[in-house]
Amino acid sequence: MTTPPPTSDDVEDGPTPTPVRRTRLRGPVRWLQRIVVALVGAVLGVLLFARVEAPIGPFDATVAFTPATDGGAELEIPPLGALAVDAYDGPLRLDVQLRRVDQLRAQELAADPSRLDGVVDRVSADLQGAVVQLAWTTAAAGIGGAALLSLIALRRKREPLIAVGLSTALLVGTAGLGAATWRPEALSQPTYTGLLVNANSLIGSAQDIVARYDAYRASLEDLVTNVSTLYSAVSTLPDPSGTGDSVALLHVADLHLNPAGADLVEQIVGQFEIDGVLDTGDIVDWGSAAENQTFEWIGGLGVPYVYIRGNHDSLATALAVAAQPNAVVLDDSATTVAGIEVVGAPDPRFTPDKDAMPGTQTLEETGEELGEFVETLDDPPAIAMVHDPKQAPPLDGVVDVVLAGHTHTREVSVLDDGTRLMVEGSTGGAGLRGLQGEDPTPLSATVLYLDPTTGALTAYDEITLGGLGQSEVTIQRQYVEPLPTGDDEAPTEETPTGDAPTEAPAGPTG
């Protein structure tokens, strides 16, 4: 018996044959593939190639577009910090990083005050030119990346042309979104980070700046000029070893949980090419569990971080620091940083816990125990770390350099038997206590330069920043005299040799 063919009604009421459904889906799926490939290729092209190097005033800068969810612009001024402006929306953020000062342009600016009259206009024109160049570079990178990836992934001759069209539409849409959401008023409301957090208190509120544009221009001129001077001074200081191979170690103390102090450490590590950080304690105020959750920045430094407990740091604080991948906690023990051997002992006290005070060792006893530990080593270490300067006398003549903190006042002296005692100020500006007096406590840190072969201290840079609401920044280079020997009379304070110390004031930094 022959089965009659299906009627038109049967075809309409039954399920769509599989081949027909696949044919209908093939087109949308293919276009979805094209869009995804073009988008990924454009993003990769932007990430890899959407940047230009350009002069901006006296600075050499890198200007780049970075994929982001909220657009805007960010200006980085290492080691001072950054300012961000929510000026537009879109998938690309404009990043401007001032990398270094061009010596010739900076000297011309400093030598001829008349050049300051137009410095803001020149900086604006340079930045505008760099952004225009970056826009063309970004377009080429995005379109080229999309076309190349489509050719590799889809392997059809016409796919690169389609990818060019899709990526062009994407870039035009991004530019259109940025133009449509452009907020010029946001330029007067930047967000500051790092050492620039107090810029408003130094150059006035945003509303005042808009109201008195001339004063704002003058403040910008001061910022450009003073930062140029600071960078120029740092870059021209000679390497103490004369060979360019000194080991640079950063001494910090008494951060007292101040985020600005952590920012300062991060920026100095990058700007001065630091080989390791030596922290002589009081990284927090109370040694509490909440405070001990704030040390992620240590792990992000990328260099060894050697730490001893201060009288405000608990055993839990030390464990939290030690949990960072690059951290070493010393407790009558030794470690080696870039070939330099360092020993350290903690403060025996824990001041926040009054019940823990009775029965603890005296400060001098802890210094004696560290000295006994040093005698067990094959060679004397280059540096000993203690928290309180009162722990240092038993180490006189045992090591060449003793680092300490605690007093919140920087002081360098040479002890009777020739050991150099270097007491750091407060890298955290004494925390909240630094605001209790009439003048805020400055933030301070010291870069030590040591001979990589002998471990001898050859020079050090004293970095000092004015406390909250102040704008002064100084860097002073001190060259170290040979330690006295035999019956020579030991000097009572540090005396630089050679050229006079270099001081470099900087403008609004907070």
Band of the pLDDT at 249, cuts 50, 70, 90? very high
Structure-derived torsion over alpha carbons of residues 446, 223, 233, 402, reported in degrees to the nearest 10: 0
Amino acid at 202: L
Question: What rounded mean pLDDT belongs to the chain?
Answer: 78
Residue 420 pLDDT > 90, yes or no?
A: yes
Q: What is the mean pLDDT of residues 324-331?
A: 96
Q: Which of 274, 294, 306, 321 is nearest to 79 (CA)?
A: 274
pLDDT of 446 reads 95
pLDDT of 107 reads 64
Give the count of alpha carbons within 13 A of 408, CB side only. 17
Stretch among 269-273, 314-318, 347-351, 424-428 having the lowest mean pLDDT: 269-273
Residue 489 pLDDT > 50, yes or no?
A: no
Question: CA 267 from chain center: how many Å?
Answer: 3
CA distance 433 to 431: 5
Q: What is the mean pLDDT of residues 36-57?
A: 87
Secondary structure of residue 66 in the 3-state scheme: strand
Band of the pLDDT at 282, cuts 50, 70, 90? very high
Angle between helices 119-154 and 18-49 (to 10 degrees): 150
Which residue's entry shows tokens 């360092």?
342
Mark residue 367 as left, alpha or beta (left: phi above 0; alpha: psi -120 to 50; beta: remaining). alpha
CA distance 274 to 272: 5
Residue 357 pLDDT > 80, yes or no?
A: no
| Stronger pLDDT, 191 or 338, i.e. the higher one | 338
Q: Which two tokens stand for residue 457?
A: 């201290």
In the chain, what are the domain boundaries?
26-194, 240-470
Q: What is the mean pLDDT of residues 332-342?
A: 97
Q: Is the dihedral of CA 218, 224, 227, 230 positive or negative?
A: negative
Amino acid at 419: T
pLDDT of 376 reads 95
Residue 412 pLDDT > 60, yes or no?
A: yes
Q: What is the mean pLDDT of residues 296-323?
A: 95
Band of the pLDDT at 119, cuts 50, 70, 90? low
The helix or strand, by DSSP H or E, that contains position 46, with its residue range, turns out to be helix 18-49
Q: What is the mean pLDDT of residues 145-157?
A: 85
Residue 437 pLDDT > 50, yes or no?
A: no
Residue 490 pLDDT > 70, yes or no?
A: no
Residue 55 pLDDT > 90, yes or no?
A: no
Residue 501 pLDDT > 60, yes or no?
A: no
Band of the pLDDT at 506, cuts 50, 70, 90? very low
Q: What is the mean pLDDT of residues 173-188?
A: 81
pLDDT of 458 reads 93
CA distance 307 to 326: 11
| Stronger pLDDT, 1 or 347, i.e. the higher one | 347
| Stronger pLDDT, 491 or 39, i.e. the higher one | 39
How far the first Cα of the chain sits from its last, in Å, is 97
pLDDT of 2 reads 54
pLDDT of 75 reads 82
Contact 173, 44 (CB under 8 A): no
The helix or strand, by DSSP H or E, that contains position 448, with its residue range, turns out to be strand 443-450
pLDDT of 473 reads 72
pLDDT of 475 reads 84
For the ranges 202-211, 344-353, 402-411, 483-492, the one whose mean pLDDT is highest: 402-411
CA distance 358 to 360: 6
CA distance 309 to 412: 21
CB within 8 Å of 344: residues ≥ 6 apart = 280, 306, 308, 330, 331, 332, 333, 334, 370, 384, 385, 386
Q: What is the mean pLDDT of residues 272-285?
A: 94
pLDDT of 510 reads 31
Q: What percent of the chain has pLDDT over 90?
A: 32
Band of the pLDDT at 429, cuts 50, 70, 90? confident
CA distance 139 to 379: 60
Q: Which of 493, 301, 485 is nearest to 397 (CA)?
A: 485
pLDDT of 236 reads 63
Residue 250 pLDDT > 70, yes or no?
A: yes
CA distance 167 to 42: 7
Amino acid at 17: P
Q: What is the mean pLDDT of residues 44-72?
A: 86
Stretch among 118-122, 391-395, 398-402, 501-505 having the lowest mean pLDDT: 501-505
**What is the DSSP track for 199-259?**
HHHHH--HHHHHH-HHHHHHHHHHHHHHHHHHHHHHHHSPPTTSSS--EEEEEE---TT-H
Q: What is the mean pLDDT of residues 358-383?
A: 90
pLDDT of 464 reads 86
Residues 240-470: name the CATH superfamily: Metallo-dependent phosphatases (3.60.21.10)
Q: What is the mean pLDDT of residues 347-375?
A: 83
pLDDT of 366 reads 94
For the ranges 57-66, 132-141, 436-445, the one whose mean pLDDT is highest: 132-141
The helix or strand, by DSSP H or E, that contains position 473, with its residue range, turns out to be strand 473-479
The helix or strand, by DSSP H or E, that contains position 176, with its residue range, turns out to be helix 159-180
192-208 tens-digit pLDDT? 665 555 444 444 444 44
Stretch among 290-304, 345-359, 362-376, 466-480 having the lowest mean pLDDT: 466-480
Q: What is the mean pLDDT of residues 445-464?
A: 93
H-state helical runs in 112-158: 119-154
Exposed/middle/buried for residue 347 (C-beta within 10 Å: 0-12, 13-18, 19+): buried
Q: Which of 381, 473, 449, 369 is nearest to 419 (CA)?
A: 381
At residue 79, φ and ψ (nearest 5 deg) are -95, 20
Residue 33 pLDDT > 70, yes or no?
A: yes
Q: Is the dihedral of CA 401, 406, 410, 415 positive or negative?
A: negative
pLDDT of 363 reads 93
